[in-house]
Amino acid sequence: MSRNINISSPPAPLLEERGEAAANKVKGEGYRVHDRYWQPYTVYLLPFTLYLLLFCSCENRELSADDPCGDAVAVEVVIHWDGIDPADKPQQGMSVHLFAASSRQYKRANLPVDGGRMDIPGNIPYIPLCYDYYGNEYIHFRDENDLDLFEAYSAPATGLYNSYGPNSAMNRAATGEAEENTVTEPYPYNFFVTRNDSLFTVRPVPGQTQYLHFYPQNVLREFTFLIRDVEGVENISSASGAISGMSAAYRMGDGVKGVEPSTVLFGNRQGRISWAGDSITGAFCTFGPADIEHFRNRLTVGVVSVRHGYYYGTWEDTVREQIAGALGENGTLEEQAAWRLSNSGYDIVLQNEGRLVIPDEPGDGTFIIDVGDYDNVIVPLSVR
């Protein structure tokens, strides 16, 4: 006896039973089909079609958060913040990136700042990486699907400094030096990254929870400076600055800084540069020097006078040596603290020696270091 079945609009009991059947299949209890609703050929055709689709999907697409492939296992990711001020923890959470060691496949998830659960295909060795993807306003990313090429980099900047500053093409042409790219100072002044030295392989063991631990550290370095004996400090209304010879990129896979020198603009945010008495103090944050042995580190401070003039001073002698001292032999925070203690509380201490003078009367100022409008390039990272 034949029966007519409206596949496009099945009765309510059929929908319920199909849902139950699908749930049972996921649980591994088999795919039950109720004979009173399905003709015999459908029993074999539907499972085979689903199997074929899943097989093709697993073989030809990258692993992602929604993959049904590879017998995914729930793993608890734990992100430890030992020694990190709770106020510095990224409010937007952390991204976990697992790169398959033997292929270009990867698994990525955005998790709360202290971790969370990831469903990870089992029996695949991964290289684990955890980083602050959304927390820093002026750090962008490129080649995020290839661990060897994956980089974080500082956003480019434009402003008067590009045209008239000491590192501009106009001024460097006389010395034969190459023009440096100009980038923005990262904000906020933390960028947390952690990598695991050993491979991580999910082992699906019934009844046991597997944990993946990360210990993020801030890979940015902040340097403080003091300039003494500045004339006319009381006439300053605002100030900004630039530091040359800095790295503008960080390779995520091995933590190596980019070797191309860049000029970092800083001071556009309130409180980064201060002045009082006859001194100017400030701070700038970067990935660190591009090459402390071969590139010049030149500090420039420009000010706006209450008399509507623009003035700047440039320092190079001892700047590179003091930056190297502040970095320390091993780059630890303890070494940085010890250097500051022995260097009047700053990383860089300089004498003005007439480089920067802000007169009482209106005069012919030179230029102001200005970040202008940021040329932000947003590189979206799709989450599948």
For the stretch 314-324, pLDDT in tens is 999 999 999 99
In this prediction, residues 158-172 reach a mean pLDDT of 60
Cβ atoms < 10 Å from Cβ of 151: 18
Q: Which helix (H) or strand (E) holds 245?
A: strand 236-247
* pLDDT above 80 for 93: yes
**Tens of pLDDT along 104-126?**
788 999 999 999 999 999 899 99
Q: Which of 265, 290, 285 lies closest to 189, judged by CA?
A: 285
CA 96 to the chain's CA centroid: 12
The C-alpha R_g of the chain, in whole angstroms, comes to 29
Query: Counting beta carbons within 10 angstroms of the beta carbon of residue 153, is it exposed (0 to 12), middle (13 to 18) or buried (19 or more)?
Result: buried
Distance between CA atoms of 367 and 193, rounded to whole angstroms?
Answer: 38
The pLDDT of residue 72 is: 86
Domain shared by 294 and 266, yes or no: yes
pLDDT of 282 > 60? The answer is yes
Residues 136 and 53 in one domain: no
Q: Are residues 192 and 320 in the same domain?
A: yes
Q: Is residue 217 part of a domain?
A: yes
Does 376 reside within a domain?
Answer: no
CA-closest candidate to residue 247, choices 193, 291, 297: 291
Q: What is the pLDDT of residue 169?
A: 55
Residues with Cβ within 8 Å of residue 191, at least 6 apart in sequence: 131, 132, 135, 136, 139, 152, 218, 219, 220, 250
Average pLDDT in the 207-232 region?
95
Q: Does residue 271 sit in the same domain as residue 126?
A: yes
- Categorize the per-residue pLDDT at 291 as very low, low, confident or very high, splitting at 50, 70 and 90: confident
Q: What range defines the domain where residue 160 resides?
A: 76-351
What DSSP letter does each residue of 72-132 carry, written as one string? EEEEEEEE--TT--GGGS-TT-EEEEEEETTSS-EEEEEE-TTEEEEEEESS-EEEEEEE-
Q: Is the residue at 367 inside a domain?
A: no
For the segment 233-252, the average pLDDT, to the nearest whole number, is 94
pLDDT at 104: 76
pLDDT for 294: 80
Contact in structure between 140 and 104 (CB atoms under 8 Å): no
> Does residue 382 lie in a domain region?
no
- The verdict on residue 170 lying in a domain is yes
The dihedral of CA 67, 72, 75, 81: what is its sign?
negative
Q: Are 264 and 220 in contact (CB under 8 A)?
A: no
Per-residue pLDDT at 64 exceeds 70: no
Q: What is the pLDDT of residue 166?
A: 60
Lowest mean pLDDT among 103-117, 118-132, 159-173, 297-311: 159-173
HSE-up of 131 (CA within 13 Å, CB side)?
26
Q: Are residues 238 and 281 in the same domain?
A: yes
**Residue 42: predicted pLDDT:** 35
Residues 202-213: what's their mean pLDDT? 90
Cα dihedral angle (331, 333, 334, 338), rounded to 10 degrees? 90
- Per-residue pLDDT at 74 exceeds 70: yes
Do residues 131 and 280 share a domain? yes
295 pLDDT band, cuts 50/70/90, is confident
103 pLDDT higher than 90: no
Q: What integer pLDDT is reported at residue 203 of this predicted model?
A: 87
CA–CA dist 253, 291 (Å, integer): 19
User: 69 with 122: CB under 8 angstroms?
Assistant: no
Is residue 70, in this structure, part of any structural domain at all?
Answer: no
Regarding whether 146 and 255 lie in a shared domain, the answer is yes
Same domain, 189 and 221: yes
User: What mean pLDDT do residues 27-32 have?
Assistant: 31
Scan for tokens 């400030």, then name that residue. Answer: 282
State residue 339's pLDDT score: 97
61 has pLDDT over 90: no
- Does residue 384 sit within a domain? no
Average pLDDT over all residues of the chain: 78
Closest Cα to residue 224, out of 153, 325, 154, 304?
325
**DSSP string covering 324-336:** HHHH-SS--HHHH
Is pLDDT at 303 greater than 60 in this prediction? yes
Residues 41 and 128 grouped into a single domain:
no
pLDDT reading at 63 higher than 50: no
Quote the number of domains for the chain. Answer: 2
Could you tell me if 346 and 337 are in contact, meaning their C-beta atoms sit under 8 angstroms apart?
no
| pLDDT at 4 > cutoff 80 | no
The whole-number pLDDT of residue 176 equals 60
Question: Do residue 27 and residue 96 come from a single domain?
Answer: no
Same domain (yes/no): 42, 88: no
pLDDT higher than 80, residue 197: yes
Residue 158 pLDDT: 77
**Does 362 map to a domain?**
no
* Residue 197 shares a structural domain with residue 340: yes
Q: What percent of the chain has pLDDT over 70?
A: 71
* Amino acid sitting at position 17: E
